[in-house]
Amino acid sequence: MTDPLDDSLGALSAEFQLLRFEAIETLEYCLTKGDGTAFLEFLESQVLSSPPRLELLRNIADELHLRLLRLREQQLDMGEQISAALLEHSSDVPPQNLSPYPERGEPLVSFSTEEFPPLSKAIRSLLDVAHQLAADIQIAEDLYQTVMDWWIALSISASRDLIGIRTLAGISGDTARVH
């Protein structure tokens, strides 16, 4: 005969994995559509669950952080590809207009590709991919920050609730102080 506690822990673990998978799928959908609304709705449902699933939120934040690292790595690779492609056409493009590693919000190039007809379709295609990567990074950064904000706020709230319970139960000590 199996232990009921093992069964309930297994069910919780399965539910956790399903929610984690749903979060990742929702994130993929949002990046594809270029809009984080669906992920924010999923996040809202998790935040409003009672009690909030802090471990799930932290796990989602970790997944978002990994995704951001991968996207930024792709962006750097794309910058190198664009630089190499532009070097092939270096006589066509003034060097002051190039920025292979742009800061947040800064364009990769400071001119319209229509101004330089010699630029090939391949370079234009690379620029399109780079702009899509920049948009995906922006969405992922915003979602990551939102998840982390909620995780921190709910963690603080849970800690204060625990301290309040301990204080009401007559447990004293340094843990009962709230500053």
The yes-or-no verdict on residue 122 having pLDDT over 70 is yes
* 134 pLDDT higher than 80: yes
Sequence-distant (6+) residues with CB within 8 A of 118 are: 89, 92
**Helix ranges restricted to H, the chain:** 4-33, 37-47, 54-88, 121-168
The amino acid at residue 64 is: L
What is the chain's length?
179
Residue range 12-61, pLDDT digits in tens: 688 889 999 999 999 999 999 999 999 999 999 999 888 778 999 999 99
Higher confidence at residue 14 or residue 167? 14
With cut-offs at 50, 70 and 90, classify the pLDDT of residue 178: very low
